[in-house]
Amino acid sequence: MNELENKNGIMVCVTGQRSCERLIVHGVKRSQPDENGVRPPLFIVHCVLNGQRVMNSIDEADAIDYLFTCAQYAGAELTILKTDNVQQTLADFAHEHNVSTIILGAPGEQGEHNGKFARSLQELLPEIEFDVR
């Protein structure tokens, strides 16, 4: 099996916002079983800079529990990462877990910042499909 055939995981990048549930639902739709009945692994990943709160919520425990519950219902693994370089850490995670597709939220209120984030991540991972929602 060559390297591309081995890359089949789907990574959903989420934030602390409850609206990220829609990204997880889309990840589930994208992770349908292949012709042999094998479902690609689904990874729900939240990555924040060191020194920042893990979630954008006053009640972090509830927000983390909400994300964990969404991931659990999706049959996915939830990973929360803290780092000094979010894009590089996400790229490393994608390589380590044989990800072929990354699902990201579309730029919203912080449009330009989020657009630059997605572009810089795509530059690090040119071989991976990006599905921006």
CATH number of residue 58's parent domain: 3.40.50.620
Is the residue at 5 inside a domain? no
pTM above 0.75, yes or no: yes
* Residues 121 and 113 sit within 8 Å (Cβ to Cβ): no
Choice between 100 and 2, residue whose per-residue pLDDT is larger:
100
Is the residue at 97 inside a domain? yes
Is the residue at 9 inside a domain? no
DSSP class of residue 51 equals T
**Closest by Cα among 12, 7, 132 to 71:** 12
- Domain span at 93: 14-30+41-132
Q: Does 75 have pLDDT greater than 60?
A: yes
Distance CA 22, CA 30 (A): 12
The number of domains in the chain is 1
